Chain A
């Protein structure tokens, strides 16, 4: 299937129907997922934003109360849900198997939990299966997943294949084919990797890209470099700053200016270091891979107001 991604024009991030937003912990993947969901919703699409790890952070970005498996519509924005594998199993049994044991879901869920503990991919397939199901049902135009962090997202993306390998017959096995069709179609599904312009996040991003390529057929839709600092001085002015900061003539010698120069030095050092890491990233990613930048927010970067800002700036980067 891979040839399709190369032979056909790359589908924009904003055209896909299922986006897995991942990234190293602490890079702001939830914020970016929320921004993407808000952006898509503001384009008039019916959007579902789904949090996989149930920490409640995604709902907080929309200033919604803690949400569960049942999606909650945010006024003017996406519907938000939180993944719950037991609820997903219940829905699956009801819809797919018509197993009449609704009253006895407790013991069955416990049993299933047990099997899932033993057989990896079983729990993950309930997450991926639910998402693929929503894609197939076309209830939403786009689904944005605040997915697991870099270390764990592969487990989700490979779940249908893992089940395919492990389970030779049975109903679950027969379900994996259509899931793989959805996941492996670059026009439908894409991974968005969020990073910051720092060493470890960039390194993990590069490793993740290689792993996705190696172990899955899922397409990477783009990379977002979050918390990019503005340039303080142009190249010529950096020398001027260095001279002034070293000499600090006249009033600038007063100690009250220490912190001022510390701040500017800090800002330029961070920016310079960030440029190095962005360079490493650029060199490592395939040509034509969409790469967008999100500014560092000096103001409090939480809540709906921040989500709207992120959505607007993502729109400017990826439209």
Chain B
């Protein structure tokens, strides 16, 4: 007998759950709730790693500025929020600059090389501004945390990337980057080898466009980084393996609106194409199911049509102003009809996605935005519901 698929089961059987999806759909909150779910239902150690530079997990967990360190949410805090933990709940954020610095310091062959890299003007820029470096360092950090073996489950909130799945390609791209002929060309003249001649056409043009100093900075940077090449490639491969084997599953998060759903479709396609496991699709901020019911719309239409009579009876029985009651009932009926349109559209989206994803979990729209542990707990109850 096989148990029906559920987020709980994923949390119990996988080592890494990656929450991915378009921006603005509540990915960070969902990731934190999955971790809360895991920590309340199983006795293990759970870590939620958020990679979002906006530092939203800190808000969601009521923490301020936890930096790059791994922090345990202590049991008292959890109990005070009504969470009865069976396991431990830890969280970590990704401080881009510090992660890069740590990486260089840890893996550079010697202190001098580390210093050379850290003081290169390009390095400062790469860690500060370079968008794709977020993706790479996120995967590095995941690898680092996972390889400590300290956690039974790591829930990852993926970075908001311009191209939805850039972060998955980051390790492979880094590998390609370090093995590329271009890199060898570029650094060859500095080594003074024969290859320097081959590099000439490029350097001539690049020199005209970019200037010599800049090229020297680039060359110096990569020459220093070259010494770390093997490590970069090894870890990049390890991360790629980890993500595509049975220890890892993906949760695609979206809201039931046109643009996020379009992106979710793209995610589902791409994950399938690349052979990653789709654990579930989480449809966040859905309208209450009652809004989509046929009888609700009929009732709303009745109310809109008979507002004057109903208002008379209601006003009499409650001692209200009849005109005010009529206004209110008419507005109530018309609001229900407006929202029914939206709710039915959402239901259609859900039904369609259920034919693609093995599991669709619907999370209702909370009146208040989820920004504390109680909120995460309430959310985790919806996530944990077994369909």
Contact = CB atoms under 8 A, between A and B. Distances in A.
User: A and B from one assembly?
Assistant: yes
Interface string B207-222: 1111111100110011
B214 A170 contact: yes
A160 B255 CA distance: 36
B318 interface: yes
A115 B131 contact: no
Size class of the B contact interface (CB-based, 8 Å): 35 or more
Contacts of B222: 118
B211 A250 contact: no
A121 B129 contact: yes
A151 B214 contact: no
B338 A244 contact: no
Nearest to B26: A200
A249 interface: yes
Interface string A94-138: 000101010000011011001101111100000000000000000
A240 B324 contact: yes
B126 interface: yes
A8 interface: no
Interface in B251-292: 255, 257-260, 262, 287-288, 290-291
Contact of B310 (A97, A171, A247, A250): A250
Nearest to A92: B209
Contact of B182 (A114, A168, A243): A114
Interface string A139-176: 00000000011011001001000100111111111000
Contacts of B327: 233, 237, 240
A260 B332 contact: yes
Interface string B140-180: 00000000000000000000101100000000000001001
Contacts of B339: 263, 266-267, 298
Given A170-B214, A257-B303, A258-B290, A26 B332 contact: no
A240 B325 contact: yes
A249 B367 contact: no
A173 B128 CA distance: 21
B320 interface: yes
A111 B182 contact: yes
A69 interface: no
Contacts, number: 225
Interface stretch (B1-9, B17-25, B63-71, B74-82): B17-25
Contact of A171 (B208, B299, B313, B365): B208
Interface residues of A, number: 77
Interface string B306-338: 000010011001101100110111011101101
Interface in A209-267: 232-233, 236-237, 240-241, 243-244, 247, 249-252, 254, 256-264, 266-267
B296 A256 contact: yes
B369 interface: yes
Nearest to B300: A260
Interface stretch (A34-42, A73-81, A299-307): A299-307
A264 B22 contact: no
Contacts of A237: 324, 327-328, 331
Nearest to B258: A302
27 contacts: A25-B22, A27-B24, A97-B208, A114-B180, A117-B177, A118-B122, A118-B222, A120-B130, A166-B122, A166-B125, A166-B214, A168-B213, A198-B369, A199-B369, A200-B54, A200-B369, A240-B320, A241-B328, A243-B320, A250-B314, A259-B336, A260-B299, A262-B296, A273-B368, A298-B341, A301-B258, A302-B258
Q: Which 3 A-B pairs have the closest CB atoms?
A: A25-B23, A26-B24, A259-B296
Interface of B: 22-25, 53-54, 56, 121-122, 125-126, 128-132, 160, 162-163, 177, 180, 182-183, 186, 202, 205-214, 217-218, 221-222, 255, 257-260, 262, 287-288, 290-291, 293, 295-296, 298-300, 303, 310, 313-314, 317-318, 320-321, 324-325, 327-329, 331-333, 335-336, 338-342, 345, 365, 367-369, 371
